[in-house]
Structure 1
Amino acid sequence: MNNQLHGVTLEAIVTRLHEYYGWEQLAQRIDINCFSKDPSIKSSLKFLRKTPWARAQVEELYLATKF
């Protein structure tokens, strides 16, 4: 299986999405509190590492985004 996320850290994914969309747009695309209520890279990583369904949505958005 070809894993397109191989070698890409969760921190790199969240940072890139934040730079591209900003917190407000991220919160609209993925409805999770870590993007809408007092967002930060650190708090988002903490939440996403504990929440597989949310992490999967973030990874899907990252793969779907044409940077």
Structure 2
Amino acid sequence: MTQAKDPLHGMTLESILVALQAHYGWDGLAERVDIRCFKSDPSIKSSLTFLRKTPWARAKVEQLFVQLCRSKA
């Protein structure tokens, strides 16, 4: 996959999370990625802390972002 077609290229985890939260809201994110930081008192800061320490959860969030980008294209 070339960088031009990779929606994750040049994106920070924070910008990905902000975009997903703006599109789906916290409830929508919690439905799509079943992690507590999206369900219980969610915030960008707490979610970033968890996602940076948890590779499987970060992968799911990145995958959801890629799906969102493709659906908008």
TM-score range normalised by the length of the shorter chain: over 0.9
**TM-score, normalising length: structure 2:** 0.86
- Partners in 2 of 1:34 and 1:16 — Cα distance? 16
Unaligned 5+ runs, structure 1:
none
**Counterpart residue type for residue 65 of structure 2:** Y
CA drift at 1:2: 2.7
- Partners in 1 of 2:38 and 2:67 — Cα distance? 18
Which is greater in Rg?
Answer: 2
**TM-score, normalising length: structure 1:** 0.94
- Identity over the aligned pairs, expressed in percent? 60
What secondary structure sits across from 1:8 in the alignment?
coil
Root-mean-square deviation (Å): 1.1
Unaligned 5+ runs, structure 2:
none
